[in-house]
Amino acid sequence: MYTLGIDIGSTTSKAVILKDGSDIIASSVVVATVGTDGVPKAVEGVMEESGLAIGDMSCTVATGYGRQTYEGADHQVSELSCHALGVYRIFKDARTIIDIGGQDAKVLALNEQGRMINFVMNDKCAAGTGRFLDVMANILNLKIEQLEIEAQKSQNPVSISSTCTVFAESEVISQLAAGAKIPDLVEGICRSVAARTAALAKRVGVREKVCMSGGVARNAAIRRAMSRELGMDIAYDEKAQIMGALGAAIYGFSKVKQGEN
């Protein structure tokens, strides 16, 4: 049995095909704003990788920011539930999940059975999100994947005090004009994101094991800064960016097993 999970984020579309609810046989990630051709490309990617077709899927589940826009899904499920399912599949001892998305940041608390028992979300401001990092990278004339590399070179991190993306942009420009080094600015930016997200986590009540999910989790500088803020290790898996899609595919499998599809 094959199930397809599609995570339609604000800036990236992810897709995962599961076999019998356990084996990931294909995954794809397409960077494209919601409402564009990102979703079809992500689905096409997993079909090509697996050699399967949409008709072979027993259930298709859409999640994420743009899940309501996808008409080909059998179910549409909150990304909170899907990230919980995906992370718990990889980390059975996960109790806190930090997911920094393109437009928001979410922190989930799980119980011993992997069920979400609490959450908090910042979706009112771009500060502390992937969008914030994109804006800062553009100011510094860097690609988003270069942030991690530059941060490792920092010897004297610059404090970014502004909690608003617009004001932080002005602050970074002023620091550049004053002669601040790019690595120090990048490390300061990463610490700023971590500080804002850690504040959310503390509202939920942080319990180990703490895991990061989503695309921003791939940035080791963010993970280091988050560990520093929380005073505990951050668990990470290379599948972090597809956790939501993985959880959606797991959800689809459960629905088929229950005879609800």
pLDDT digits (tens, 9 = 90+) for 170-187: 889 999 999 999 999 999
- pLDDT of amino acid 161: 79
Over 70: is that where the pLDDT of 126 sits?
Answer: no
Over 70: is that where the pLDDT of 202 sits?
Answer: yes
- pLDDT of amino acid 69: 87
Band of pLDDT at residue 238, cut at 50, 70 and 90: very high
Beta strands 96-100 and 2-8 are unpaired
Name the packing angle between helices 220-230 and 182-204 (round to 10°): 50
Of 183 and 102, the one with more pLDDT? 183
Rounded mean pLDDT, 72-99:
96
User: CA–CA separation, 50 vs 30, rounded Å?
Assistant: 17
- pLDDT of amino acid 147: 95
Over 80: is that where the pLDDT of 206 sits?
Answer: yes
User: CA–CA separation, 221 vs 157, rounded Å?
Assistant: 12
Q: Which of 85-94, 98-107, 209-218 is predicted with the least confidence, judged by mean pLDDT?
A: 98-107
Rounded mean pLDDT, 12-37:
91
Residues 6 or more apart whose Cβ sits within 8 Å of residue 248: 5, 6, 7, 16, 61, 62, 63, 77, 82, 85
The pTM of the full predicted model, rounded to 2 decimals, is 0.92
In the chain, the amino acid numbered 3 is: T
| Residue 185 parent element (H or E) | helix 182-204
Residues 6 or more apart whose Cβ sits within 8 Å of residue 76: 61, 62, 63, 67, 68, 70
Distance separating the N- and C-terminal Cα atoms of the chain: 13
**Mean of per-residue pLDDT scores for the chain:** 92
